[in-house]
Amino acid sequence: MATVIVPAHNEASVIEECLNSIVNQDGIDHIIVPCNGCTDNTVEIVKSKFPNVVCLDIEKPSKTNALNLGEAKAKELGISYPIFYIDADTQLSENCISHITQALENSDTQLAAPTPIIDTRQSSWLVQTYYRVWTQLPYIKEGVIATCSFIVTKKGRQRFNVFADVIGDDGFIRCHFKNKEIANIKGAEIYITAPRDIFSLIKIKTRARLGNMELIARKKCPIQEAKSYGNVMKSRIFSKEFIPTSIYILIALIIRVRANKQFKNLNNYQWEKDTSSR
C-alpha cells in the first residue's frame, strides 16, 4: 500500500483531473493534498469533490513546506510506503500506483517515477523542437527527470530528514541517490502537458536550472554524478538533426543566461510558473 501526496498552489484548473486519475486506483492508503498559499478555489474543489482525500489548507505558499506538512499528516494517519509525490498538473495512467509499488518490491531502485508522456500537441513549433531534442538526452533517459513527480521507497526516504527550503524539490531528492538507484518504471505512465509558448518553456526550465545551482551552492546535493552529453550534441550537430539541435542549444543558452542572472539575486527570487498549459 502507498501514500500519495499532491502539493497544490492555485491549481483549480487542473487539480480535478489529477485527482480523478488517482482516487480510484488500487493500493493506496492515503491521499493528501497540501494546498499551499492558494488564492483561487483549489481547496474548495478538493474538499467538495473528493471527500475521501485529506486536504490541508496551508497559508504559506511553499511547495517544499507543503511536502513536509503533507508527510507529517501522513505520519499521523499511519504512513505507508512507497510515497508518491505527484504534481497537481499531471495525471497518472490506470493501475500506475499498484504497478510501481509492485515493481519496487525486492528492487535496487529507491527513487522512481512513471514513464513521462509529454503532450506537445498544443505547443508552438519551437517548444516541440526543444522537447524533441531534450527527451533524447542520455541523462533524461536515466530516469525521474522530466516526470514532474517521484516515488520513494521506505529505505530511500531515510536518506534525508525533511525537504530543504529550496526551489528545486525534485532536484533535491534526486541528489540523494546514485543513477543506478533511479529508474522510470515501464508500464506506468504520467501525462504532462508541455508549455504552449517558448516564453513559458524558458521560464520553467530557468527555474529548474536555478534550482540545481542553488542546491550546489548551498551544499544540499550530497551525491553528484557527471552528466555528459557533449558528445551527443556533437554527433547531432553534424547530422540531419542540425536544425533542431541548433535551436535546442540556443534555447538552452538563453535559459543558462537567465538562471545565472537570477542566481545573483537569489534571495529575491519570484517563483516562475507555466500558466499557458493550464
Q: Is the pLDDT of residue 226 over 80?
A: no
Q: For residues 42 and 15, is the Cβ–Cβ distance under 8 A?
A: yes
Q: pLDDT class for 106, splitting at 50, 70, 90?
A: confident
Most confident of 54-58, 143-147, 217-221: 54-58
Q: Is the pLDDT of residue 142 over 70?
A: no
Question: What are the DSSP calls for 121-184, one per residue?
Answer: TTS-HHHHHHHHHHTTSHHHHTSSTTSS-EEE-HHHHTT-SS--S-S-HHHHHHTTS-GGGEEE
* 172 and 102 within one domain: yes
Residue 275 lies in a domain: no
Residue 277 lies in a domain: no
Q: Which domain holds residue 26?
A: 1-89
Say if residue 126 is in the same domain as residue 260.
Answer: yes
Residue 260 maps to a domain:
yes
Task: Answer with the one of 71, 89, 107 that is the final residue of a domain.
Answer: 89
Which of 71-75, 142-146, 243-247 has the least mean pLDDT?
142-146
Backbone angles phi, psi at 216, to 5 degrees: -70, -45
Task: Let me know whether 100 and 211 are in one domain.
Answer: yes
Amino acid at 219: K
Choosing from 60, 89, 118, the residue where a domain stops is: 89
* Residue 4 phi, psi dihedral angles, 5° rounding: -120, 125
pLDDT interval class at 193 (50, 70, 90): very high
> For the residues 118-145, what does the mean pLDDT come to?
87
Is 187 a member of any domain?
yes
33 shares its domain with 171: no
Listed residue (1, 9, 66, 68) closest to 29, CA to CA: 1
Query: Which residues have a Cβ under 8 Å from the Cβ of 128 and sit 6 or more positions away?
Result: 120, 194
Residue 144: inside a domain, yes or no? yes
Say how many domains are in the chain: 2
Nearest to 131 by CA among 79, 192, 172, 74: 192
CATH number of residue 60's parent domain: 3.90.550.10
Is 80 within the bounds of a domain? yes
With b for 16 or more beta-carbon neighbours within 10 A and e for fewer, the 135-173 pattern comes to ebbeebebbbbbbbbbbbbeebbebeeebbebbbbbbbb
Average pLDDT for residues 158-176, to the nearest whole number? 94
Residues 63, 115 within the same domain: no
Residue among 28, 44, 40, 33 nearest 66 (CA): 33
- 69 plus 200 within the same structural domain: no
User: What pLDDT score was predicted for residue 141?
Assistant: 66
Last residue of a domain, one of 89, 117, 135: 89
pLDDT value at 102 more than 80:
yes
Q: How far is CA 182 from CA 3, 155, 176, 179, in A?
A: 19, 13, 10, 5
Q: What is the C-alpha separation between 174 and 168, in angstroms, rounded?
A: 10
On whether both 99 and 83 belong to a single domain, the answer is no
Same domain, 49 and 78: yes
Q: Hey, what's the cell of 26?
A: 488500487
Answer yes or no: do 221 and 248 share one domain.
yes
Among 46-55, 209-218, 230-239, 249-258, whose mean pLDDT is lowest? 230-239
Q: For position 9, what pLDDT does the model report?
A: 96
Q: Tell me whether residue 221 is in a domain.
A: yes
- 52 SS3 class: coil
Share the mean pLDDT of the chain: 92
Shared-domain flag, residues 66 and 171? no
Whether residue 183 is contained in a domain is answered as yes
> pLDDT tens digits for 201-211?
999 999 999 99
Residues 85 and 187 in one domain: no
The answer on 203 and 159 residing in a single domain is: yes
138 band by pLDDT with thresholds 50, 70 and 90: confident
The yes-or-no verdict on residue 157 having pLDDT over 90 is yes
Region 164-170 average pLDDT: 93
